[in-house]
Amino acid sequence: MVFTDIVFYVLSAILLFSGIRVITTRNPVHAALFLVLAFFTAAGIWLLLEAEFLAIALILVYVGAVMVLFLFVVMMLDINLDKLREGFWEYLPMAGFIGVLMVVEMTMVLADKNLRPSAAVELPANYSNTAALGKVLYTDYLLPFELAAVVLLVAMIAAIVLTLRERKDNKSMNPADQVKVKRSDRIRIVSMPAVVEAPAPSAEEKK
The pLDDT of residue 146 is 92
> CB neighbours of 123 closer than 8 A, spacing ≥ 6?
50
pLDDT tens-place string over residues 164-180? 766 666 667 777 887 88
Is the per-residue pLDDT at 88 higher than 80? no
Q: What is the mean pLDDT of the chain?
A: 77
Compare 105 and 69 and report the one with higher pLDDT: 69
Nearest to 18 by CA among 52, 45, 47: 45
**pTM over the 0.75 mark:** no
Q: Are 34 and 71 in contact (CB under 8 A)?
A: no
Q: Mapping DSSP to helix (H, G, I), strand (E, B) and coil, where does residue 86 land?
A: coil
> CB neighbours of 130 closer than 8 A, spacing ≥ 6?
52, 53
Is the per-residue pLDDT at 11 higher than 80? yes
Compare 203 and 57 and report the one with higher pLDDT: 57
Q: Are 82 and 45 in contact (CB under 8 A)?
A: no
Task: Compute the distance between CA of residue 187 and CA of residue 178 in angstroms, rounded to an integer.
Answer: 14
The pLDDT of residue 110 is 59
Compare 11 and 128 and report the one with higher pLDDT: 11
Is the per-residue pLDDT at 154 higher than 80? yes
Side-chain-side CA neighbours of 143 within 13 Å: the count stands at 1
Q: Are 19 and 38 in contact (CB under 8 A)?
A: yes
pLDDT tens-place string over residues 118-151? 555 676 777 777 888 888 888 888 898 899 999 9
The pLDDT of residue 9 is 87
Nearest to 71 by CA among 45, 112, 115, 32: 32
Q: Which fold has domain 1-81?
A: Four Helix Bundle (Hemerythrin (Met), subunit A) (1.20.120)
pLDDT tens-place string over residues 67-82? 777 777 777 766 666 6
Q: In the chain, what percentage of residues exceed pLDDT 90?
A: 4
Q: Where residue 187 falls among pLDDT bands split at 50, 70, 90?
A: confident
